Each structure stands twice: as C-alpha cells, then as structure tokens.
Amino acid sequence: MAMFAVYAPTRVSSEQAIDTFYAELNEAVKKTPKRDLLIIGGDLNAHVGSRQANGNRSLGIHGYGERCERGTRLVQFAQANNLVIANTLFRHKPSHVITWRSRDGRTSSQLDYLLVSSRWRSSIQNCRAYRGPDTGSKGGSDHTLVKMSVKIRLVARKRKEPPKRFDVARLKDPTVVEQFRVQLSNRFTALEHEHSNESPEDGNSSGSSVNEDWQKFRNTLQEVALETLGRVKRKRRRWMSEETIRLATKKSLLPSRHSAEFKQLHEHGNILTSRDEVVDRWKRHFQKLLNPQVDPSSPAPNLQVTQPPPPPSSTLINQYAGVKIEPPDEEEILAAIKKLKNHKAPGIDAIPAEIYK
C-alpha cells in the first residue's frame, strides 16, 4: 500500500505552479509498484462535478457542483494514472458530500478528494465527508473530514517447495544401474529417431533448435531417473534426543576451563579481580602493541618496492582476438563429468552428478 497526502495550489496560483505540482505527483506515482494499493488524498482545490453518460470512468456519477478548469486537470490526471475519485462513487446527501465551507457559511464546495487505483475499485465500500462541530466556524477548520472504507482480502502467497531429490543411493545396486541404462538407451534411441525425422528449417540440419534439444534431453533423463530411482523419502527426526539433552545439561554444570585464564591479565601473572584493573591492563596491552618503542639511532629498513607487471600490449591482444575455439569433444565432456562431486546440490536441471556419471 502506498499513500500520498497532497495539497494542490489554489485557483489564484499560476499555471506554472499547477504544472509543477502535477509533474511531481506524476513522478511519485510512476515510482509506485503497479501491484500496490495507491491512495492519494488531500485538498486538491478543484471542482470535478459528476460523470456524464459515456464519460470518464475515473469519475463517478455522484459528484458535486460543476466542473472547473482545475477539475478537468484533476480528472485527466486520474485517467492517465488509472485512478478513480472515490468521493464521486457513492450517493449521499449534500452535507456528506461537501468538504469545504466558508467562514460565513454562505459558500460550500467539494475540494478534498481521495483517489484510489482503479484495480482496487471493488474494494471501496464507502466514501463520505464528516462535518465536525466547529467546521466553518471562526475558531475551527473550513474543511471537513473525508473518510473512506476499504475492504481488502489478503491472500497468502504460496511458497514453492523445491522438488525432492532423486534417490541416487539406489545407483549402488548393479541391478538398478543396469535397469537405468537400458531404459535410458531405449528412450534416447526413440528420441534420436524422432530427431532425424524432423524437417529442416532455417538452414539447420533438423527442425529443432539447440534449446529444444537440450530440453528433450533433460526431460528424458529426469523421467527415466524418476521411474527407476524414485524420490528420496525424508523421515522426520526429533530435533533433540534424550541423550543430547542429557549431555547438554551435564556440560552446562561443568566448570569453565578458561575462566582463570581470562583473569590472569597482569604482566607478572597476578590475577586481577576488579573491573578497573582489568580495563587498565587491556589499555596498557594495546598501548604496547600499537605504539612500539623505536630506537631513533637504528637505520631505517631497506624496503624494496616491486613494480606491477606492464599491461598486455595491443599487438598481443589482437594476436589472440581471432583465435577460433572448437567445441568440446566427447573426451573433454567425459573428463568434466568425472570431476563432478557426488552428494552435491544439482543445478537448474535438477539432475545430480551421480546420474550423469
């Protein structure tokens, strides 16, 4: 939810002030995420009137008075930003529509508005003005309170649980490995036959792209692994066993082995008991550590500064810029697969290293 409290220039203000106001408000609205419930409320110093037949959907049919030039500007702003003027959506008696009264009580108008995102229009239950006991009086405000009732139904976003891992532990069984190889070979043979029958397009040897081939390979491997290996069934374990609790309790009752070592902070090995002595000891320790005594008569150390290596020349860069690198062959791919570590989380393909191996 995003809310803006605004105050528009009055009718005696210049056009430049009005342009600046709506330009800044437009910029603030653009920075608001589209999914948010946007509410703009305040004294906008405009008369919007009511919507006519087939008129602007940002305006309701229960406005007050006639539209003025500033009101047209406000309606255009609401339409450009997909906003609806909530004050004009509900039918109320004039005293519940008027938001401003002069001090003498002779003049009244609707100047204060609440603008809401159009996509949340159905959530608006009511919008009206509430006149206080001192509204329009000498000591009170000439504006009334505008209240809007909104009913929002919030839906919890469901968390996507990651898919369970394949039960790669079954690959230790030679029978399962052989079954996996046979099914995979049969599926790849059918896939290769399907690939060879595709019509070539755009100069390719087959009608499918590299990404499509990869997706078919990945899906086939996942399907065979699911049929042969299945998923890992996780068992809920107790967070702490009785033995763990017993050992933790026993450890908490043991005396600390390091308590005396922290107390022996004096240079001569004496145990410091008071807080001031401990703080003073730390102070002297860091003074000695950070401010070592240097003999002014000793020669300065000979520091050797090594220069960084020069950057590669443009000739060397141009020499290797046009080197053509061939795609990896089968031996390189097999070597890379052998280097994969077992019992690691799979990548975006959700296929662990054990299955590739």
Instruction: Give the closest residue to 71 by CA, choosing from 55, 94, 54.
Output: 55
245-290: per-residue pLDDT in tens? 888 888 887 766 555 555 555 566 667 677 788 788 888 888 888 8
Q: Both tokens of residue 315?
A: 């000739």
pLDDT: which is higher, 234 or 170: 170
Pairing of strands 108-109, 100-101: antiparallel
Q: Both tokens of residue 241?
A: 């066993």
The residue ranges of every structural domain in the chain are: 2-150, 160-199+207-233+350-357
Helix (H) or strand (E) holding 332: helix 330-338
- Is residue 232 over pLDDT 90? no
Q: Please state the pTM of the whole predicted model.
A: 0.47
CA 120 to chain centre: 23
- The SS3 call for residue 95 is helix
87-123: per-residue pLDDT in tens? 999 999 988 999 988 877 788 889 999 999 999 999 9
Q: Both tokens of residue 128?
A: 């009206």
- Indicate the average pLDDT of the chain: 82
Q: How confident is the model at residue 302 (pLDDT cuts 50, 70, 90)?
A: low
CB 84 within 8 A of CB 120: no
Report the C-alpha gap between 65 and 62 in whole angstroms.
Answer: 10
CA 244 to chain centre: 39
User: Rounded mean pLDDT of 307-318?
Assistant: 66
pLDDT: which is higher, 317 or 355: 355
Q: Both tokens of residue 19?
A: 């342009």
Segment of 109-118, 153-162, 228-237 carrying the highest mean pLDDT: 109-118
Q: Both tokens of residue 350?
A: 């959700």
What is the dihedral angle through the alpha carbons of 109, 115, 120, 123, rounded to the nearest 10 degrees? -40
What is the pLDDT, as a whole number, of residue 52?
Answer: 72
What is the pLDDT, as a whole number, of residue 286?
Answer: 83
- Is residue 202 over pLDDT 60? no
Segment of 23-27, 64-68, 199-203, 205-209 carrying the highest mean pLDDT: 23-27
If one counts every other C-beta atom within 10 angstroms of the C-beta of residue 88, the result is 23
CATH fold of the domain at 2-150: Deoxyribonuclease I; Chain A (3.60.10)
- Is residue 321 over pLDDT 70? no
User: Rounded mean pLDDT of 138-159?
Assistant: 83
What is the pLDDT, as a whole number, of residue 305?
Answer: 65
**DSSP per residue, 208-226:** S-HHHHHHHHHHHHHHHHH
Report the C-alpha gap between 58 and 78 in whole angstroms.
Answer: 6
CB 86 within 8 A of CB 42: no
- Is residue 206 over pLDDT 70? no
Report the C-alpha gap between 179 and 246 in whole angstroms.
Answer: 47
**DSSP per residue, 44-94:** ---------TT--TTS-S---S---HHHHHHHHHHHHTTEEEGGGSS---G
325-357: per-residue pLDDT in tens? 788 888 898 999 899 898 888 888 888 888 888
Residue type, 171: L
Report the C-alpha gap between 71 and 111 in whole angstroms.
Answer: 9
User: Rounded mean pLDDT of 63-78?
Assistant: 89
pLDDT: which is higher, 310 or 21: 21
Helical axes 210-228 vs 174-196, angle rounded to 10°: 150
23-35: per-residue pLDDT in tens? 999 999 999 998 8
